[in-house]
Amino acid sequence: MKIDSQEIKRVLKFASIGVLNTGIDIAIFAALVYALSWPSLPAQCVSYFLAFLNSYWWNRRWTFGMRERGSARELIKFGLVNALSFLCATGVLLAAEKGLDLSPILAKLVSVAASLAVNYAGSKLWVFRQGPELGREN
């Protein structure tokens, strides 16, 4: 199987945006939990949603090179992929925090890994599916 250099570039872009999103997610989560004494679940919802918005914009424009205007359908598809990713991450967060007795921030870090494969596969194969059409930059 030949490795496509464009695909490697796309995965690296996705990963770098993932790092940025993770930073946003964890920073907001930590601020809400530790500075404002929020419970983990509502903090998870807020931090994940804000990282979701950042992820959509950067992955759409930079990772997958979509230049035409986005559609409501595309945003809904991205939301569905991220909802599945969110459910995976949240399940792991709560299991790690409650079941493994990890601190909220350690449980959060573990939960990030749970959502990566779902998010990339869904984004690449369904949301920002690249076809032979013109007008998309990689």
Considering the entire predicted model, what is its pTM? 0.67
Residues belonging to the chain: 138
pLDDT tens column, 47-99: 988 998 899 999 999 998 888 888 889 889 999 998 998 898 899 999 999 99
Is 66 among the domain residues?
yes
Domain that holds residue 57: 5-127
40 falls within a domain: yes
Burial of 76 (C-beta count, 10 Å sphere; 0-12/13-18/19+): exposed
Instruction: Give the other-Cβ count within 10 Å of 109's Cβ.
Output: 15
In a domain, 108, yes or no: yes
Q: Tell whether the model's pLDDT for residue 119 goes beyond 70.
A: yes
* Domains: count for the chain: 1
Residue 77 lies in a domain: yes
| pLDDT of res. 133 | 47
136 inside domain: no
Q: Is residue 24 part of a domain?
A: yes
Q: Does 138 fall in a domain?
A: no
Inside any domain, residue 123: yes
Q: How deeply is 97 buried, as exposed, middle or buried, from its count of CB atoms within 10 A (0-12, 13-18, 19+)?
A: buried
Over 60: is that where the pLDDT of 137 sits?
no
Burial (Cβ within 10 Å: 0-12, 13-18, ≥19) of residue 31: middle
